[in-house]
Amino acid sequence: MDGAHQIVSSEAEELILVDENDVETGFLSKAACHDGAGHLHRAFSIFLFNDAGELLLQQRAPQKRLWPGYWSNTCCSHPRKGESMPVATQRRLFDELHIEASLQFIYKFAYQAEFGAAGSENELCHVYLGKLNYDVTPNENEFAAIRYLAPKELLDEMEAQPASFTPWFKMEWLALVDKHRDMLSRYSDI
């Protein structure tokens, strides 16, 4: 199977449970982490910008359990049991987009969001920024589409159509704009 169609995760993989201070408390399957109200687990979100300062957005694949078809940040996932955050972020960038990127950690936060009967996200999420220096080859099992948007266009679209974006992406982007603008400005005109 070619990389554009490779299956890169499963509901059985073990994720890292954490407390509100990001201290590991155990492990649980990806499926169980997202059942019901969810169990707090470690996650990450990556925002990559091209040379024009535009953010690469992904539209989640239709077969995703949570928020299928919604627009979100460049890459988001979880480190697996025994996996460090640097290893997990690079693994996932390669799995989803077939690229590598130098990443800068910006902040982390906990959130919980329910998606009806399908389950919930309950994550302590580490947020990273980086530059996109390569052409991407999206994994069609992960993405329905990709596109680039300038920050102003993104803010306008989020205001006009907030329901088309994932809840974590909206929280993260607004925090980057409001609280971490100095860091964001290193990657894009904002």
Determine the pLDDT at residue 1: 42
Q: What is the pLDDT of residues 9-56, one digit of tens each?
A: 666 899 999 999 999 999 999 999 999 999 999 999 999 999 999 999
Confidence of residue 93 (pLDDT cuts 50, 70, 90): very high
Catalytic center residues: 76, 123
Q: What is the pLDDT of residues 46-75, one digit of tens each?
A: 999 999 999 999 999 999 999 999 999 999
Q: What is the pLDDT of residues 125-154, one digit of tens each?
A: 999 999 998 889 999 889 999 999 999 999
- Per-residue H/E/C for the chain: CCHHHCCCCCCCCEEEEECCCCCEEEEEEHHHHHCCCCCCEEEEEEEEECCCCCEEEEEECCCCCCCCCCEECCEEECCECCCCHHHHHHHHHHHHHCCCCCEEEEEEEEEEEECHHHCEEEEEEEEEEEECCCCCCCCCCCEEEEEEECHHHHHHHHHHCHHHECHHHHHHHHHHHHHCHHHHCCCCCC
Question: Which tokens sit at 47?
Answer: 């925002």
pLDDT surpassing 60 at residue 8: no
Whether domain 12-184 has CATH 3.90.79.10: yes
pLDDT surpassing 60 at residue 3: no
Domain regions of the chain by residue span: 12-184
pLDDT surpassing 60 at residue 4: no
Distance CA 30, CA 77 (A): 11
